[in-house]
Amino acid sequence: MRQRAAVLCGAAVIAAGTVTAVPAEATATRLPQPAPTAPAAGPHWEECATEDYPTLQCASLEVPLDHARPRGEQITLALSRVPHTARTYQGPLLVNPGGPGGSGLTLAGFVASSLPAKVAAQYDVIGFDPRGVGRSSPALDCRPGHFAPVRPDSVPDTPDVERANLARAESFADACGDKYADVLPYIDTVSAARDVDAIRAALGAEKLSYFGYSYGTYLGAVYAKLHPQRVRRLVLDSAVGPEDVWYDANLHQDLAFNDRHRAFMAWIAEHDAAYGLGTDPERVESAWYAMRAALAKRPAGGRVGASELEDTYMPGGYYNGYWPYLAEAFAAYVNDGDTGPLVEAYENFGAPDASGDNGYSVYTAVQCRDAGWPRDWDDWRDDSWGLYEKAPFLVWNNAWYNAPCAFWPTPSRQPVDVANAELPPVLLFQATGDAATPYEGGVAAHRLLGGSSLVVEEGGGNHGITLSGNDCLDEHLAAYLTDGTVPHGDGGEADAVCPALPDPKPLESKAASTSSRGSTLHGLLGFRG
């Protein structure tokens, strides 16, 4: 759940009870309803076309910082639109790339151009930057340069390394509290879902359709819980496990990412002729960890240490189109001692930038506020070391990415129970080998959303699977958006099954590129999301 190839994987004395607890807010049986959404003037759309998306338009919308006080302080949401062109008009289709912290402005153009033209023409495809994100205002940036290299090794195998990482996490939380004390209590999924309804009202639509990837599936499910009568169609791709928000979700990720990394190592072994790292996946994996150990002592180019290496290779767990590039960098380092390709891979997939700093700030603000997190570091330490023995690839990198939640300056809400039997048919998509949102989460969402249909990509390991080249999946998506058609299974977990696309081949030349649609989509979805 992280943004772009840009952000990286989400000193107190180390002793029990050193992290001060902040109580979670009391559980509410029903979500409190805000004051009715005031009628709003429609957004003023202006051209903001790009070469790829020549019909894209942009606008802004003011919404309350606190929806319980609709006439109080206002913030601004950035919107984008590809307008409908067909006589048959099915209303707005809001799209969200996940995160939390992902910008959806360009995603509107991508979705409109990737759907069949006759389907896209029937919708106003609407993108938006959720509160705190990108071109919305205020845009959060708690601690610029927080992920600047070289960071401490993520694996805290000495007390000094653990203290250094804890100090970074606490300083980030403190910086957020210092800069955004008045805003942080309202950076959460429920508030973002209220914003979605404000967008609907401003567009003059009685109902809206929604298409979310990754964390965007949770945002969509929460919106549907708040306003089931306002949902026309709901597409959830790579669904978050709604019952795991958020600490447990990250623990489940750790195991799934380790499995996906091992699948990548096996792929390299299958292509020994291209990479020369051996035909035994376990030996290839051992070589990768030996590279990590070497970089911990001597970072490549003074920039890629052990933690940065994890940042660089984690995106391969989201999208196998990156595997050929990551494999070449790995092989160049091991076989030739050449650090150049590794540094280049870090710059492309793992290095931080300003949008990544913003995305991470919103990510932590939302996740730390949405649900309770352990406030005693001993709990984090015990859970992480226990998982590390089974799944070393990402456990500690992920722990430190989320560790500011142990020190977060605002109290946590209770997670939303998204169980819902009041919706029209809902369509879910899930890959069996998804690392970021493991398959079990999609099954849980299917169970909780009564009347939903689940389309499974059997054998797939990518995160975000529709509009990425799998025609079988996309046919189900197009049918649903056309007239609400959903598949119905025989009572098992899946209502329809699509075979996964084949894994990529090694690059034939340095100029070779990944699949256009797949790489474009995953660039928009980013990582950690």
Mean pLDDT by 10 residues, the chain (529 residues): 36 30 37 50 92 97 98 98 98 98 98 98 98 98 97 98 98 98 98 98 98 98 98 98 96 97 98 98 98 98 98 97 98 98 97 94 98 98 97 98 98 97 98 98 97 98 97 98 96 94 86 67 81
pLDDT for res 517:
87
- pTM, to two decimals: 0.92
Would you say 240 and 437 are in contact if contact means Cβ atoms under 8 Å apart? yes
Known catalytic residues are 214, 434, 463
Would you say 393 and 35 are in contact if contact means Cβ atoms under 8 Å apart? no
Would you say 221 and 442 are in contact if contact means Cβ atoms under 8 Å apart? no
Respond yes or no on whether the N-terminal peptide bond of residue 246 is cis (omega within 30° of 0).
Answer: yes
pLDDT for res 107:
98
Would you say 150 and 133 are in contact if contact means Cβ atoms under 8 Å apart? no
Nearest of 70, 425, 392 to residue 234 by alpha carbon: 425
pLDDT for res 32:
53
* Sign of the dihedral defined by the CA atoms of residues 415, 421, 425, 431, in that order: positive
pLDDT for res 491:
78
As given in the structure block, the two tokens for residue 93 are 């289709």
Q: How many CA atoms lie within 13 A of 294 on its CB side?
A: 13
pLDDT for res 121:
98
pLDDT for res 492:
84
Cα 281 to chain center, whole Å?
29
